Structure 1
Amino acid sequence: MSDRPTDSAPGRLTHWEKRAEVPLFAASLLFLAGYAVRVLAPHDAQPWRDLALALVGATWLLFLVDYAVRLRLSGLGLRFVHTHWLDTVVLVLPLLRPLRVVRVYTAVQGRRDRPRLDLYARVMTYAGMSAVLLGFSAALAVYHQEHGAPGATIRTFGDAAWWACATLTTVGYGDATPVTTGGRMIAALLMVCGLALLGAVTGSFSSWLLQVFTREDEKRPPERG
């Protein structure tokens, strides 16, 4: 038996995730682009709407294949579904893929060696980009639900983008609010997800500062009595 890390189930899973991360990120952008065309393009804009639908379906199938591979490599069987609940939620709702940054933050928090600013900076940058993508996704989804509803205050995509910014930053001006059940569910998800991403950014920065200050105190010579 070889003792290489990739010979174990967790090692094989980690190896696959590292190799698939960049292609899946590109697929996420394609999924979002296809969904945006479906939502924003006029109903008579053919064949673009059909091509966008095909792109959304193809990228979702790619996410499904990745999920199936990781389920198999994990060696957990169906336990993978609830032990990796975030991956399961992201598979069902691909627009929430930016939330995978929380896993990156958790991995950084598990490090106990010397803190590195560039590592934490990458996490904060990734979380910031993820927040932008999540806000754009939520704006598309809530516009899709709201723009034709009776009594809606979100009539244009500009209104939806403004609402997403106010909600994601927890400002909540209240001038644009969802009136449909679907829109309110999207709003609730955005609030929870926005807090998670904001926590990843502030938590990562705070952890780096705390580790730096702790090491500086350890290097400081003891004070004389």
Structure 2
Amino acid sequence: MQSFIRTDQYHYIQEQARTLVNSRSSTNDQDVTSAIKAMTQEKVIDLFHNLTEDQKQMIAQIDQVKDEADALFFLSRLKQYILPFPSITENEIKQLFPKAKKINVPNLEDVSWNQLSYLGWNDPGSLKKYIVTRRNGDLIGLQGSFTPSSQPGICTICHETEDVGMFAITKKGKGPEQTITRGNYICQDSDQCNRNLTDAYSLHQFIDRLQA
């Protein structure tokens, strides 16, 4: 069977499996349990379009999750079918930022590509943050200033409460001296943000807004 699960979809299923385990441990009412099980199964199947019968049967097995051990076994099977973020080279990354004189690219050998919806890293020395992802099949690089917040907040990308900072991009406006700055609060830790992300649409929306 070919890989067919995006990273954000896997994280969503992981979240639903956790919710299912918690609901089973909090009630002995079989009708309630059956309803939650059916609703959870429907949610995860609806994530996908054009599933093969084998793929659908595999996803549907979430209804068999009763405890943590079942959830771990189920998720470990799904993990084999994650579509990894396409690995890229340091040179490809640098080509995305032609105006940057020096970029401290992270060690790409340490990157877990099958856990990423986007590659992001901080450069504290220059007070910048870099984001690399794919949008409509093309590699996109975003470079912006990054100012960490002194208190936790809700990330615009993953919508979870984490340590965040203001990521902002400044572009030239229509006038010769006019500039436009767009930005929002996102996770300081991009790896944690990726682990939280259960819907790639919010990532794409964030990127589109900054590029507008």
- Is the TM value for this pair above 0.5? no
The structure where strand makes up a greater share of residues is 2
The structure where helix makes up a greater share of residues is 1
Larger Rg: 1
State the TM-score, normalizing by the size of structure 2: 0.31
